[in-house]
Structure 1
């Protein structure tokens, strides 16, 4: 029978650690926790769960710390989680079946990221390589990646992550990424991650430059290319770089024809272009409607990393807005109802106003 260890690196995580460990304590055979300098009760919490706790002197390198942690594990497989993540579905038998029936394969688990956008909670979904056979390690100082030629396979394990809501690590991340970029100035993935940090800091002009360079270099088959395109387009909207954005949309239209996030950002792009210069961009008016309808046709999909709702209630709400603004009240109410039925509060509020 194959053995499984939870492997973590932590620092000052007393607020989150117990929740994470509780979610996996009946799934794993061992718990390896490497502490990089906690000054709170993190280590005491880890010990209370029977974890094997080790110390690692922080050297500004996440891969170095993760690889040290992996070295401490004696199990056949390792599950890698962060303290602000926790498993939310009943997946013990799923994980056990995966590790018993796969050898030179890496398991990708689904992570739901909670974040705030325009004052609203949103949820992004992505698949991450976190079930690793013994011997697999990481590369990269930050936003480290699994360094292995083994194929990846999605596993029905769902992890919730709310760290983006309660902590802001953007400045730290940016410093490490810029150090990495100074050593590898044409690394398209690092360029993308630097752009993301500047986007989070709302320095959109700087973010655009890094996204543009990453987009120029990224291979067509890169696993994060879809996310890069989406982030790039949102940044171009913020900078009102509409001509550049139209070129990107034209280049990606066929490749991302089945991505709800792509068509969703296109719909927003066309709306902003129209508001910015109605005379110049009047020709994209009909594309607004088409974009959001296409989102609903595709629906919610696991093919791409995505934001929940772009294939359902968010797209329906924006169609409601479009039809309301254009005086098509029957259609507006129909799509507001569809969005509200799926739990989107802004649609419910809009329906109350229209019914007055």
Structure 2
């Protein structure tokens, strides 16, 4: 039976390393932990779990650190996690069967907790993290698996809370700039740099990176749908509405099944109408149509994106739309739908309009 290792690179992770190790211990045959320079209790906690810790001198290269950690594994397969992640779902029978074929890669689901403008969100992503022995990484940051094997979805789900209350831009931006110097025509690193600047509220710098990424994009990249949506949100933020409309029109067919695309359309058309009601009021029905389309698609669209755009967040925004139009009964119906799904904003709004 193929063996499986959990492989981690860590640095100053005393807050969460124990949780990560405990979540995976029952499913793996060995655990490899490589420390890149911790000054807190990370090593002590790992050793307390009976797991050895290996040291790696950090050289501003995530792929190099991960590949060193992978080289220490004696297992047939490696599950690569970060310390601020932890397993919530793992189907051992399926995974063991999957590992009988060493010429494929496993894509796991990662649910990341985020806070955007004071509101908690969860973002669903799928990333290749289950690797057969001999497969490694390339790239200083946002490192990618360096193999041509097919990437298959597998029933492993991980939660990630490392984005909460942290600012890693001081580390990430120089590494991304170095990658861009080496590959100036790579839209992926420009997109990631734009996200870093957005997190720092440097809107113009973020827009510049998003714009450059968009111009280089082929539209078939796995991250393209999310990149398009993030780009449109930034265009809305800084009132480049005509450009936003061009982008939305260009991808209307290709992203027809993506709820996040239709959700940002609803946000966009509201801003467009408010910018010039005399000109754009005829676009009003498009707001309703956008959120109804989100709900028609639902959460199981197959895309990575923000959880709620195909359910409770769309119901809530649709309720806002009906409330503004004076359609009280319809608004209440939508708010109740969102509240039944546990959406806090809807729960708060319901008693205010009843």
The 2-side partners of 1:281 and 1:243 are apart by 12
The 2-side partners of 1:82 and 1:219 are apart by 30
How far off is 1:79 after superposition? 0.2
Say if 1:175 and 1:283 are closer, same or farther in 2 by CA, change over 3 A.
farther
The 2-side partners of 1:145 and 1:68 are apart by 15
How far off is 1:90 after superposition? 4.4
Tell me how large the CA RMSD over aligned residues is. Answer: 1.2
1:60 aligned onto 2:56: no
The 2-side partners of 1:95 and 1:28 are apart by 11
State the partner residue of 2:86: 86
8 Å CA contact 1:188, 1:214 repeated in 2: yes
State the partner residue of 1:72: 72
The 2-side partners of 1:206 and 1:120 are apart by 23
Q: Which moved more, 1:256-265 or 1:184-193?
A: 184-193
8 Å CA contact 2:110, 2:126 repeated in 1: yes
Q: Which moved more, 1:179-188 or 1:7-16?
A: 179-188
Residue by residue over 1:154-181, the C-alpha shift from the partner in whole angstroms, topping out at 9 and shown as x without a partner, is 1111100000013221221112111211
State the partner residue of 1:250: 249
Q: How does 1:324-343 map to 2 (within 5 A)?
A: 324-343=323-342
Q: How does 1:176-191 map to 2 (within 5 A)?
A: 176-191=175-190
TM-score, normalised on structure 1? 0.97
The 1-side partners of 2:279 and 2:164 are apart by 39
Structure 2: which 5+ runs fail to align?
Answer: none
The 1-side partners of 2:279 and 2:104 are apart by 52
How far off is 1:279 after superposition? 2.6
**Helix, strand or coil at the partner of 1:59:** coil
Say if 1:72 and 1:131 are closer, same or farther in 2 by CA, change over 3 A.
same
Q: Which moved more, 1:343-352 or 1:15-24?
A: 343-352
The 2-side partners of 1:129 and 1:244 are apart by 34
The 2-side partners of 1:51 and 1:229 are apart by 43
**Helix, strand or coil at the partner of 2:156:** strand
8 Å CA contact 1:114, 1:164 repeated in 2: yes
The 2-side partners of 1:339 and 1:11 are apart by 40
How far off is 1:186 after superposition? 1.3
The 2-side partners of 1:329 and 1:169 are apart by 45
TM-score, normalised on structure 2? 0.97
The 2-side partners of 1:335 and 1:297 are apart by 14
State the partner residue of 2:268: 269
State the partner residue of 1:307: 306
8 Å CA contact 1:240, 1:273 repeated in 2: no
Residue by residue over 1:207-257, the C-alpha shift from the partner in whole angstroms, topping out at 9 and shown as x without a partner, is 111111111112232111111111101111111110000000001100000
The 1-side partners of 2:280 and 2:68 are apart by 55
8 Å CA contact 1:31, 1:50 repeated in 2: no
The 1-side partners of 2:123 and 2:136 are apart by 26
The 1-side partners of 2:269 and 2:202 are apart by 22
